[in-house]
Amino acid sequence: MSDTAADPRLLRAPPKRGIRLSWADERLRAIVWQVLVLGVVGGIVWWLVRNTQHNLEVRRIATGWDFLSREAGLPIAEYVIPYTPASTYARALLVGVLNTLKVAVVGIILATIIGTLLGIARLSKNWLLSRIAGAYIELIRDVPLLLQLLFWYTLLQALPSPRQALHPVEGVFLSNRGLRLPWIEWQDAHSFALLGLVLGAVITFFYARSARAKQMADGQPRKIWPAALGLIIGLPVLIWLGFGAPFTGDIPALRGFNFAGGMAVTPEYFALLLGLVTYTAAFIAEIVRAGIQAVAKGQWEAAEALGLPRGLIMRKIVLPQALRVIVPPMTSQYLNLTKNSSLAVAIGYQDIVSIANTTLNQTGQAIEGITIIMVVYLTISLSISLFMNWYNARIALVER
């Protein structure tokens, strides 16, 4: 009853007629159907839960979340927050979540850039370039991602060993242990400078907005870039100088078995990123191409008639309009990339699936392990959907 009352359509039904106990009454039928379906589904779920409880008991499988606070004892190669095998399962799982986010966020940014370039290349007037982009897109889309990941990983392993590492620029080493880049020894000053950078960017954003509003009001264009330059580059540099300009290079060097120091990118991470980016970029390219083609030809012609250069037409006229077509399918590509990052388990990058998998194997608690994986992905998917919906609504508003 309460279910049907929520439906405004049913509320609009003839006002003073009670429910008749007859099949001819639409509302009664709706109620019966819903009760029936809910009953069947509920029954099945109840039956499964009962079986599960019984099985867990009979097989003496531990349940509950106690294991989270136990010592994990599993080695993890890459972590953003401090971790040792003596840490708890909860921390190991958190490391896994952060590793997933690390590959997903970087992957989304790179795939968007490369995919957009590819999509534009696909529409290039240069026949060879457009054909190569087309062949690439077709080839990548018709082979399973898992196979591509395995292929990339095998290929990366064929790089030379650390002792014979490729050494293109001073301090940069490429070997089968991954990529080592020089880095600076991180100090508080750097953190504050980074904060200054963010602050500068935010202020610039609001400044640009007010400048645009003023331009809309009086038609006078205003120069934004000097202030932007000062805020985005000047502010962090000033802060850094204020702290006494600390700078100590952290150059990687061969020590013992491997390189020490510098910033490391492991082959597992690199292979996963490479696979995800090349794969997703192929899909994004097609979305971008379709989006650009969806912009009416008259827009191009009108802009050309105004004498605008091609790059400016693309940036100022075509892309903003294409974005409206592009954003919704792009959202699903971002979701795909995130979910596909779970294939990391096949090539040894320790994301949440890999770590939850090991956890469930060591503790025997399959239900908890898989619940964790699902909750994490549902949360990430939902967050991306929400963000992209917000963005979509924003760019849609621009249309007056």
Please, which residue, 141 or 222, has the CB nearer to another protein? 141
- HEC sequence for 194-228: HHHHHHHHHHHHHHHHHHHHHHHHHCCCCCCHHHH
The crossing angle, in degrees rounded to 10, of helices 235-242 and 188-218 is 150
Residue 172 burial class via C-beta count within 10 angstroms: exposed 0-12, middle 13-18, buried 19 and up: middle
Given its phi and psi angles, is residue 20 left (phi above 0), alpha (psi -120 to 50 degrees) or beta?
beta
The length of the chain, given as a count of residues: 400
Please, which residue, 52 or 69, has the CB nearer to another protein? 52
Please, which residue, 69 or 157, has the CB nearer to another protein? 157
CB of 264 to another protein, least distance (A): 9
Please, which residue, 241 or 366, has the CB nearer to another protein? 366
Please, which residue, 146 or 184, has the CB nearer to another protein? 146
CB of 336 to another protein, least distance (A): 5
Please, which residue, 75 or 249, has the CB nearer to another protein? 75
Nearest to 23 by CA among 33, 13, 14, 15: 33
Residue 33 burial class via C-beta count within 10 angstroms: exposed 0-12, middle 13-18, buried 19 and up: exposed
Tell me 174's DSSP state. Answer: E
With beta carbons less than 8 A apart as the criterion, state whether 130 and 122 touch. Answer: yes
Please, which residue, 93 or 268, has the CB nearer to another protein? 268
CB of 192 to another protein, least distance (A): 32
CB of 324 to another protein, least distance (A): 15
The crossing angle, in degrees rounded to 10, of helices 267-294 and 127-141 is 120
CB of 183 to another protein, least distance (A): 18
CB of 304 to another protein, least distance (A): 15
Please, which residue, 177 or 236, has the CB nearer to another protein? 177
CB of 398 to another protein, least distance (A): 23
Number of Cβ atoms within 10 Å of the Cβ of 227 = 17
With beta carbons less than 8 A apart as the criterion, state whether 295 and 322 touch. Answer: yes
Backbone angles phi, psi at 380, to 5 degrees: -65, -45
CB of 53 to another protein, least distance (A): 9
Residues with Cβ within 8 Å of 196's Cβ and at least 6 positions away in sequence, in order, are 235, 236, 238, 239, 240
